[in-house]
Each structure stands twice: as structure tokens, then as C-alpha cells.
């Protein structure tokens, strides 16, 4: 305003009339209003245009970088997990680097949904987009993890529908939906605004804990094919008769999947086959030790029905972080609102683990949910500060690109589609393929 006043004084000295002065004031007010409107037209990052003019909304770079880091971590643990057991999935209780991949994906699904729904004013359109996205992930998940592709060492494909695996990573991402609204000014009002979502988190957690520790698990049997196709399948009996057991044999998570999905539709390579009771090469897969328990070869689905309940809770926690992006424009406020619940969750998870509620990825235990969701929140806040606040995007350009094409990379690399396609081209014998030529396969 000081520049406008100086301009008006100079005009009076040059002989401008009062009427011309009034016209100048009106033009100044109009420019000021336009500037304010331009400043108000900011993106979800809180970034406006230069000179008060609105600019095209910027993409939240930290979202893509976080997703890209998760994809890179997934590829690392898939390729190097067998060589470095320390980063491979924990055989049962405990948490390793690989055990953070799935919760990080679920967390960022929640964050993304909070931002996506905010951009769509019509609830019908938002619902339709969510349903179409869910159907796409469901179809891809069933195709990639249902048993249709037989693996790197077998170029055949196809699956017996009686043995089809219904659950999987992408299917777990499907089972989540919510809505986003306006009008938040403080962290407390944010919780009040979305109190229904927090109530749903409480209900889901209560249902999970009640079923996990309250359901009675009776004795059960299962069959696996014999080494020779001419022999009858081998039958194993597992003694349980327990309630509240969280071990590999008698937990309610596996029982619910056996009863509802059917044991033939569950994952055939159980994670607990790497425990000391089931493998002489533990923590790697290996031959059964003498007097191995009868449950060692039983199918178990790490993305089962009951564990999905807590996976949805992880998505809701991510959704809360998305709400913070939408409703808080100041960097400091965002980071503070992210870090406080993240550290609370991590501390709560370790306290629960020490008190007997063990961290367990296979069961998706409550303590595991707290630790992994809290770690995701801390990492997301750190990435946001480095990338969106300080602008260090050039060093993470590749990671950001991976995050923007996460689904494509997951399909091509993590699900071995690209290696399968490349391995399908060989010279005279299947062993003479492209992967062996470039040294990836022996």
C-alpha cells in the first residue's frame, strides 16, 4: 500500500484532478482483491503463484517419494531377503525390515485417499472412482497372487480354481474406503471432525482383539500332496483345543481362514516354515528337522480375513495424515501433527510387546500395527521436510519416479512378471534365456 500512496502523491504533484485520484484508488483496490484471490488459490501443498496469480496445483512430492521408497524396499527384501536373513520377514514373532513394507503401502494408501477425495466435490464421482480403483486392484491381485503364474522356474501358467488363492497384498489394499470434509483449525478439532473414523478404528481393533483372544480353536487336520502322484495325499492332525493362542498352530487368524476361505485357498508356503521347529536352516526355509510339529507344512495366509481388519486400521491412520495435509497449510503445524501420534504409536507398540502382546506380522497384531504405522508416520514426516519443505527433489528423482509408477513396478518386478516374460525367450533350451545371458539367473 505504501507504493500506491507514493504514486498518488507524485500524481498530485503532476497536476492530477481529484476525479482521476478516485479512479486510481478504485484500480488499486481491484488489483489488491485480485491478488488476495490469487493467494487464496493455493494447492494442497500451500503453495501459491507469484504476483498473487493462481498457479496449477502442485503434486505432493513427498507422497511419491515415500511410495517409491516403499517399492524400492520391497524389491530389496524380495531379492536379498534369502541372502540376508536379517532383512527377511520374521518367521513368527518380531519385526524386521521386510515387515515394514506392507504397512507402509497401506499407510500411503490412506494418505492418498485423503488427498484424492478432497479434490472431488461430488460424492457420487468420488465413490465411483474408489470402486473402480478397488476393482482394478482386486483383479490384478487375484491374477498375480492367486496362483495363475507358476514362478520363475516354471514357464507354464494357469490355476485350478479349487486351489485359487483369494487373499493377497493388493486385495488387502482394496478393503478400505472413507470420505473427507472441510473446516479444521486445530488438532483437537481435527479429531472431532472425523470422530466417526476414530470410532471405527476403535471398533475394528476391539473386534480383532476379541476374536483373536476369545475364539476357541479346536483340533484340526489338513492334507498335502504326496511326493509321488500315485500315492494318496498325506494327512496331518494338529492338536489345539485352545483359546487365545497366538502361536503358529492354534491361532484364531488361521482358523477363520480355514473355516471361511477353505484351507485349499490359502497360501501354500507358510512363513512359520522358517522357524526353528520347522527348518534346520532357520531363519531360512529348509528340510524339516527330526520330530517336527505336524503343523509345519500347513497352509497359512499372511493376508487373511482377520489380519485384514488391522490392515484397515493402518489405512485409517494414513487417512488421518492425509487429513492433516488438507487442513493444515503451515509446514510446522503439519510436521508437529504428524510426529506426535507417530511417536505415541511406536512407544505404545513396544510397551505392548514387552507386556506379552508380541509384534507379529503374520497375525497383524495390535503391537505390530502401532509400531509400523508409527514408523511410517515418522518416515513420512522426514521425507516431507526434506522434499517439500527444503526442496531436495533432485537426489530422489528416481525414487519419486518409482513412486509415481508404483503399481506398474509392482506388477513387473515384485510379482516377477517382467522376469517371466524375459525368461520366455530362449535359444533352443529354456535354460538359455535372456536372464541367464545377462547374469541374473544361474
Across 319-344, average pLDDT: 91
The pLDDT tens digits for 194-215 are 778 888 899 999 999 999 999 9
Please tell me the predicted confidence (pLDDT) of residue 109: 86
* Predicted structure pTM score: 0.73
Lowest mean pLDDT across 117-131, 323-337, 366-380:
117-131
The pLDDT tens digits for 226-283 are 776 667 788 899 999 999 999 999 999 999 999 988 888 788 888 899 999 999 988 8
Across 170-180, average pLDDT: 46
Mean pLDDT highest for which of 191-195, 281-285, 351-355, 415-419? Answer: 351-355
Please tell me the predicted confidence (pLDDT) of residue 136: 60
pLDDT at 415 > cutoff 50: yes
Q: How confident is the model at residue 410 (pLDDT cuts 50, 70, 90)?
A: confident
Across 84-92, average pLDDT: 83
Please tell me the predicted confidence (pLDDT) of residue 301: 86
Please tell me the predicted confidence (pLDDT) of residue 254: 92
Please tell me the predicted confidence (pLDDT) of residue 46: 43
Please tell me the predicted confidence (pLDDT) of residue 153: 53
The pLDDT tens digits for 347-376 are 999 999 999 999 999 999 999 999 999 999
pLDDT at 56 > cutoff 50: no
Please tell me the predicted confidence (pLDDT) of residue 145: 54
Mean pLDDT highest for which of 56-70, 322-336, 370-384, 414-428? Answer: 370-384
Pick the residue with more confidence: 248 or 123? 248
Q: How confident is the model at residue 72 (pLDDT cuts 50, 70, 90)?
A: confident
Q: How confident is the model at residue 411 (pLDDT cuts 50, 70, 90)?
A: confident
Across 295-320, average pLDDT: 89
Q: How confident is the model at residue 440 (pLDDT cuts 50, 70, 90)?
A: low
pLDDT at 187 > cutoff 80: no
Pick the residue with more confidence: 30 or 117? 117
- Give the per-residue SS3 of the chain: CHHHHHHHHHHHHCCCCHHHHHHHHHHHHHHHHHHHHHHHCCCCCCCCCHHHCCCCCCCCHHHHHHHHHHHHHHHHHHHHCCCCHHHCCCCCEECCHHHHHHHHHHHHHHHHHHHHHHHCCCHHHHHHHHHHHHHHHHHHHHHHHCCCECCCCCCCECCCHHHCCCCCHHHHHHCCCCCCCCCCCCHHHHHHHCHHHHHHHHHHHHHHHHHHHHCEECCEEEEECCCCCCCCCEEEEECCCEECCCCCCCCHHHHHHHHHCCHHHCCCCCHHHHCCCCCCCCCCCCCCCCCCCCCCCCCCCCCCHHHHHHHHHHHHHHHHHHHHHHHCCCHHHHHHHHHHHHHHHHHHHHHHHHCCCCCECCCCCHHHHHHHHHHHHHHHHHHHHHHHHCCCCHHHHHHHHHHHCHHHHHHHHHCCHHHHHHHCCECCCCCCEHHHHCCCCC
Please tell me the predicted confidence (pLDDT) of residue 78: 74
pLDDT at 190 > cutoff 90: no
Lowest mean pLDDT across 224-238, 296-310, 342-356, 391-405:
224-238
Q: pLDDT > 90: what percent of the chain? A: 30
Amino acid at each position: 500500500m505504501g507504493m500506491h500512496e507514493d504514486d498518488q502523491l507524485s500524481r498530485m504533484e503532476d497536476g492530477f484532478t481529484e476525479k482521476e485520484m478516485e479512479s486510481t484508488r478504485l484500480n488499486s483496490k481491484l488489483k489488491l482483491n485480485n491478488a488476495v484471490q490469487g493467494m487464496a488459490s493455493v494447492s494442497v501443498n500451500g503453495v501459491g503463484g507469484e504476483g498473487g496469480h493462481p498457479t496449477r496445483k502442485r503434486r505432493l512430492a513427498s507422497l511419491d517419494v515415500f511410495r517409491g521408497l516403499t517399492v524400492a524396499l520391497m524389491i530389496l527384501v524380495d531379492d536379498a531377503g534369502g541372502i540376508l536373513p536379517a532383512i527377511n520377514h520374521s518367521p513368527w514373532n518380531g519385526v524386521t525390515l521386510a515387515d515394514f513394507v506392507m504397512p507402509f503401502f497401506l499407510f500411503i494408501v490412506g494418505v492418498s485417499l485423503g488427498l484424492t477425495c478432497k479434490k472431488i466435490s461430488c460424492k457420487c464421482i468420488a465413490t465411483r472412482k474408489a470402486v473402480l480403483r478397488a476393482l482394478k486392484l482386486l483383479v490384478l491381485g487375484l491374477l498375480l497372487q492367486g496362483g495363475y503364474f507358476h514362478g520363475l522356474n516354471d514357464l507354464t501358467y494357469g490355476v485350478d480354481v479349487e486351489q485359487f488363492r483369494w487373499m493377497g497384498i493388493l486385495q488387502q489394499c482394496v478393503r478400505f474406503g472413507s470420505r473427507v470434509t472441510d473446516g479444521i483449525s486445530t488438532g483437537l478439532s481435527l479429531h472431532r471432525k472425523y470422530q466417526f473414523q476414530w470410532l471405527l478404528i476403535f471398533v475394528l481393533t476391539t473386534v480383532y482383539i476379541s476374536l483373536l483372544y476369545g475364539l476357541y480353536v479346536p483340533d484340526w487336520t489338513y492334507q498335502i500332496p504326496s511326493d509321488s502322484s500315485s500315492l494318496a495325499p498325506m494327512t496331518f492332525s494338529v492338536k489345539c483345543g485352545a483359546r487365545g493362542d497366538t502361536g503358529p498352530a492354534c491361532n484364531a487368524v488361521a482358523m477363520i481362514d480355514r473355516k471361511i476361505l477353505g484351507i485349499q485357498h490359502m497360501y501354500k508356503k507358510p512363513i512359520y516354515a522358517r522357524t526353528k521347529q520347522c527348518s534346520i536352516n532357520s531363519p531360512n526355509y529348509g528340510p524339516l528337522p527330526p520330530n517336527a510339529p505336524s503343523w509345519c507344512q500347513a497352509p497359512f495366509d499372511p493376508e487373511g480375513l482377520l489380519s485384514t481388519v488391522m490392515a484397515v486400521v493402518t489405512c485409517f491412520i494414513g487417512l488421518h495424515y492425509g487429513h492433516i495435509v488438507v487442513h493444515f497449510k503451515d509446514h510446522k503445524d503439519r510436521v508437529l501433527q504428524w510426529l506426535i501420534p507417530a511417536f505415541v504409536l511406536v512407544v505404545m507398540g513396544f510397551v505392548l510387546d514387552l507386556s506379552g502382546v508380541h509384534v507379529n506380522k503374520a497375525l497383524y497384531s495390535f503391537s505390530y500395527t502401532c509400531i509400523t504405522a508409527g514408523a511410517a508416520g515418522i518416515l513420512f514426516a522426514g521425507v516431507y521436510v526434506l522434499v517439500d519443505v527444503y526442496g531436495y527433489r533432485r537426489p530422489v528423482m528416481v525414487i519419486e519416479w518409482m513412486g509415481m509408477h508404483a503399481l506398474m513396478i509392482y506388477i513387473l518386478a515384485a510379482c516377477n512378471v517382467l522376469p517371466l516374460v524375459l525368461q520366455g525367450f530362449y535359444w533352443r533350451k529354456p535354460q538359455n534365456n535372456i536372464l541367464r545371458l545377462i547374469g541374473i539367473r544361474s
